[in-house]
Structure 1
Amino acid sequence: MQTTLSQLSIGQSATIVSHQSNGAVRQRLLDLGLIPQSQIKLIRKAPLRDPFEFRVGATSVVIRKTEAETVIVQLATLS
């Protein structure tokens, strides 16, 4: 099932599928390591639900909710 990063629950993992952002925002997300086919996990949300902290590989990344809404992910399936 595909969704956006902003819809993940704390502790939930997914694989990045694509970006819907353009320009500087897209480049910033790619520079932070949010590259298609990368595994990502939601670590925590700030008390007011913005920003979010994600784990990408061995790196922690903090992005705003509006940026997280532009990243499409495939939810990890349990086998």
Structure 2
Amino acid sequence: MNINLIPLHQLPVGSFGKVKKLVSEGVARRRMLDLGLIYNTTVESIRKSPAGDPVAYGIRGAVIALRSEEASQILVESIES
């Protein structure tokens, strides 16, 4: 089975993705895990700021804003809503 993974920051607004891998390490990785970004968690790209960065994501019932630099370290599989 071939799964196409994309960085979270490339997920279009209004789309959903499932977390498949965290590329970050150390404190940054721990923060992502603490925010609930664990394997198979569904994430929704909700809204971009007017400047385009950060982006608001729906994660486990909370809305979290992540900058592109952080979101690029999270690989997701795009899923149909």
Q: TM-score, normalised by structure 2?
A: 0.89
Task: Find the aligned partners of 1:45 and 1:34 in 2 and give their Cα distance.
Answer: 19
Q: How does 1:26-41 map to 2 (within 5 A)?
A: 26-41=29-44
Please state how far the C-alpha of 1:18 moved relative to its aligned partner.
Answer: 0.6
Unpaired segments ≥5 residues, structure 1: none
1:42 corresponding residue in structure 2: 45
Q: CA deviation at 1:57?
A: 2.0
Map of 1:24 onto structure 2: 27
Q: Deviations over 1:7-45 (max 9, x none)?
A: 011100010001010111111111111111100000011
Structure 1 runs (4+) deviating above 6 angstroms are: none
Deviation at 1:69, TM superposition (A): 0.3
Q: Please list the CA deviations of residues 29-72 of structure 1 after superposition, one character each: whole Å capped at 9, or x if unmatched.
A: 11111111100000011111111110012111111110000000
Aligned CA RMSD, in angstroms, stands at: 1.2
Please give the alpha-carbon distance, in whole angstroms, between the structure 1 residues aligned to 2:59 and 2:50. 22
User: How many correspondences in the alignment?
Assistant: 78
- TM-score normalised per structure 1: 0.91
